[in-house]
Structures are given as structure tokens and as C-alpha cells.
Amino acid sequence: MRKKQVGTVFNFKDFPDVAKFPFIIGKKDDNPPVKKGVFVYTESIEGFLIGIIEKILIINEYFADALTIKAYNENTNPNILQGLFPSKDFEFAIAIVKALGIIEFKAPETTQIQRIHRMTYPATPGSNVFLVEQEILNEFIGFDNNSGLDVGEVKITNYKAKINMDRLLNKHFSILSISGGGKSYLTSILIEELLIKENGSPGIILIDVHGEYLYLKDIPELKEKVYVQDTTYFQISTPKLSPWSFKRYQQQISYVQVRELSKFIQKLKKDEKKKGKYSIHDIIQLIDDDPEGNKSTKQALIGWLSELDRLNLFGPQENPRIKNIVEKGKITIFSLEREINIKKKQIIVEYLCNQLFYLRRMNKIPPVLLIIEESHQFCPEAAHAKAISKGIIETIAREGRKFMACLCLISQRPKKLSTTALSQMNSKLILNIKNPYDLKHLMDSSEAISKEYSDMISSLGVGEMLLMGNAVNYPIFIDVRERKYKSKNEDISLSEVCLEWEESQLD
């Protein structure tokens, strides 16, 4: 292994101890750059001790005394200043390293890791410190350098960050950030990587709330793998719905009304003229024509059903056929950009989730990745916000991995997202989050997010990401790469949009 020495372990205050060790950083002219977040190692008594630099200090004894600093400030002659105060010769940098573990290799001079165990003895003062080579770091973090999903580079280094697809998708994951922090951009990169894989990718269903991913259908290299479903023509099969499904969509329906509704649904199912195909309008007509039963119960039921019917979502048959839209290595985008009614959007998402989960349990569709944008709208945390789609999303979050139904929740407000669902997201791809309430909610829902990581998350810039959880062995910061395929409107400015609008008004 080619070693790049960056410094030497030394005694500093109470260090080194089992958890941390300091080292003097060598001269920059002779060594690779050392920065916060870089992975380093030293040879300890127990073996190959790997750690991450979490703090860098600059020490200069010349400026440790107030009188010295006063004399320095009073001397204004630059020609004799350095002669009187040769401070640069006594300045040195100290890196504080958080020890992560002892690595045992399968054989000498190889990068294949056999196991990683905890340290029980501190680093040895005087030992040399080296940068961790890319091959070892890949093994330690759990990246797949051959066929992994390329999302960018490990921060500070130029090492590729290739996430192992199985580790990411075998369980659920979330993408979290403030508005404009790069959530959709990162999601687009993951979709690119999954679509260009030759084999092994699941079918992808994407709930696109704002139409941000529609540009994918115009990419020549991807057009055979991208399908867009406009929810304007979305239709739920009324005959597939039980009486309790109607109560789920219209919670004001009472239990007495559910029992009454059940009678009319059974009549329609047996009606040979309908042949099992009927709509909510047919149910309403049948209730209205029925001379028997409690009139007030029937009138209330007609009112609730009429409200559902006005959503233009329920018909005699399903459109599209959910069973036919899930294909391995391809994506179907359900665009909700034209939908304003939040209840209508929640019903669409609830029906889609229910059907996908059922079909996957019955093994009637291939393994599926379900991506839900603005997931706090469909699975909110607040107890009073009884979102229609919340129950099924939480069910998939709890049970979906058993059936290879992976869930990806994307949100700009983690605090508003269900703790039950968020806590089941085994991997988290976190970009910039500023709101202290959102950060606290993240800490409450994940033991891996400490106060230290919370502070780091709030200082991330655009395009910087913290990856943690099941997808990697250790949390790591990544610089997200650029998209391979760009949207036409990606770099458009506000002034350009205003000019386009003015021109459109003249036509």
C-alpha cells in the first residue's frame, strides 16, 4: 500500500486516549492537505487504527501571552517585525482525530477488510499518521466501487462515492433538506443511476407533486424507460372498493351508514346488467331509488358519496392498471402538478400505495421503489392531521422491506413528517437543514444523529450531503455530483421567466 504521511501522534492535554488522538500536521509543502473530515490512520499496538479528523487547532506560543501581543501590535516597522517576533517558526497545527475502529485485513498488503472491532488501547505517541487510501476507505465505508450508484465524491478527497444499491434499497431511505437545498436534484441523480444500470434495478414509481421530474421523458437516452401518468385521467376502480374503503376516503361516514352502504354494494355486484362495473354515481342512484330504510341515513350517505363523486376520481375500472405499470429498470412518474385539492392528492397516493403493496405481497409485480415527494403532505406527524394516505405509508414503512417494497420519503420539513415513518427510514441522505425544530425531530427519530452531526447538517452548503444509516458502515459527507441529464429550465432565472411571460402575452 502506498502511504501518504500527514503527521505524527503526540501528547496534547489529556490525549491520546482510547476515543481520540492528536497529531502534529506536517508541513503543507511536503504533505497532502489535511482538513476536517479527512480519514486517517496510524499503526497502534492493536493494529491499523482508523479515524476521522473532527477538529484542527493552530498553536502559536508567541501569541499565548497578552504582553507579547501588545508589543507585537505596537511595532509598526514591517522590516524588523519578523526579526523581533519570529512567530511563524513556532506555529504548528494540531489535528484531533476521532478513533473509529481497529481494522483487521484478510492478508498482509491487501485492502480487503476481514473485520472491524473497537479500540481498547490508545494510539502511540510518536507514531506516524497517514491518509486512508481509497480502496481501504471504500471497504470501511461500504461503498461498491464496481457497480455502486455514483452520487459524487467523498468530501475533501477526490474519492468516488458509490453507494451499494442493495444496501440502500433493501431497506427504506429518506432524502431531507430545506427548500432549494437540492433534494430533487439528488433524487434525479439516484434515478439516473438506477435507470442506466444494465440489470438488477427495481421498478420505480415516483409521486411527483410539482412536475420536477417530467424532463426525464425528454432525455433521448432514457425515453424508453420513462413513463408519465397525468393524474387528470387517473381513475380508481369503484368495484374494487369495500364499504370500509369509502369510510377511509370520507371519514364522516358513520358505522351505521357503512352497514347500509354494504347492502347497496352487494346489490350492484350481483346486478347482471352492470357485470361488476359500476361507479359511485350508480351507488348514489341505487340508494336514492330505494324505498326502504332510514331516510336520514340514506340522505347523509348520499351527501358523503356525492362529495367523493365530485372529485372525478372514481369510475367503473382502474386507469391506469397499476399491475401493468411496474417494470424492472423503468420508472413511472405520477404527476400531481395540476392537482390543487389536497384530499384528492391524498386519495390518489393512498390508492397507489395500497395497490402496489398488495401486488408486491402477492408477487404480481417485480420489486418496487416507491418515491414520495413532499411526503409530509401525505404522512404528517400531527395527530389532528388525519391524512388519508398516512396509514398505508406507515404500514409500508414498517413492513415493506419484507416484500422488497422500498420506500423513499422526500421532505423539506422533517418535523411535520410522521415519526413512525421517519424512524423506519434505515438510511438518511441529509442535505442542508436550518430549522432547529426539524433538527431536533431528526435527532428524536434517529439515534445515529447526535448534537455534533446536527450542527454539521445546519452548516452544509448546496450540493453537500451527509449519508448515514444502513447504506454505509459509518456516516460520511459527500459532495453531490452534477446531473448527467439536465432539465431545460435548470439554469433559467427569474428575469428570463418574466420576459417569457411578457412575450407570451403579446402572442
Cell numbers for 226: 420513462
Q: Is residue 151 part of a domain?
A: no
Separation of first and last alpha carbons in the chain: 68
How many whole angstroms separate alpha carbon 287 and alpha carbon 243? Answer: 14
Task: Spell out the per-residue pLDDT of the chain, length 507, in tens.
Answer: 457 888 999 988 888 899 999 999 987 655 557 888 889 999 889 989 999 998 888 887 777 667 666 766 776 555 555 555 566 667 788 999 999 999 988 877 777 788 888 889 999 999 999 999 888 899 999 999 888 999 999 988 888 999 999 999 999 999 999 888 889 999 999 999 999 987 888 999 999 999 999 999 999 999 899 999 988 889 999 998 999 999 989 988 889 899 989 999 998 888 877 777 889 999 999 998 888 878 888 899 999 999 999 999 999 999 999 999 999 999 999 999 989 899 999 999 999 999 999 999 999 999 999 999 999 999 998 765 578 999 999 999 999 999 999 999 999 988 889 988 998 999 999 998 888 888 887 787 776 677 777 777 888 888 889 898 999 998 888 999 999 887 766 667 778 778 887 887 876
Q: Is residue 506 part of a domain?
A: no
Q: Is residue 477 part of a domain?
A: yes
- Same domain, residue pair 245 and 347: no
Total structural domains in the chain?
3
Say which CATH number the domain at 324 has.
3.40.50.300
- Same domain, residue pair 385 and 492: yes
- Same domain, residue pair 206 and 243: no
- Same domain, residue pair 276 and 207: no
- Same domain, residue pair 287 and 306: yes
Task: Supply the DSSP string of 257-308, one letter for each residue.
Answer: HHHHHHHHHHHHHH-TTTTT---HHHHHHHHHH--SS-HHHHHHHHHHHHHH
Judge whether 265 and 246 are in contact, CB under 8 Å.
Answer: no
- Same domain, residue pair 225 and 367: yes
Nearest C-alpha neighbor of 161 from the set 180, 142, 188, 185: 142
- Full domain range(s) for residue 40: 5-141
Q: Is residue 154 part of a domain?
A: no
- Same domain, residue pair 94 and 42: yes
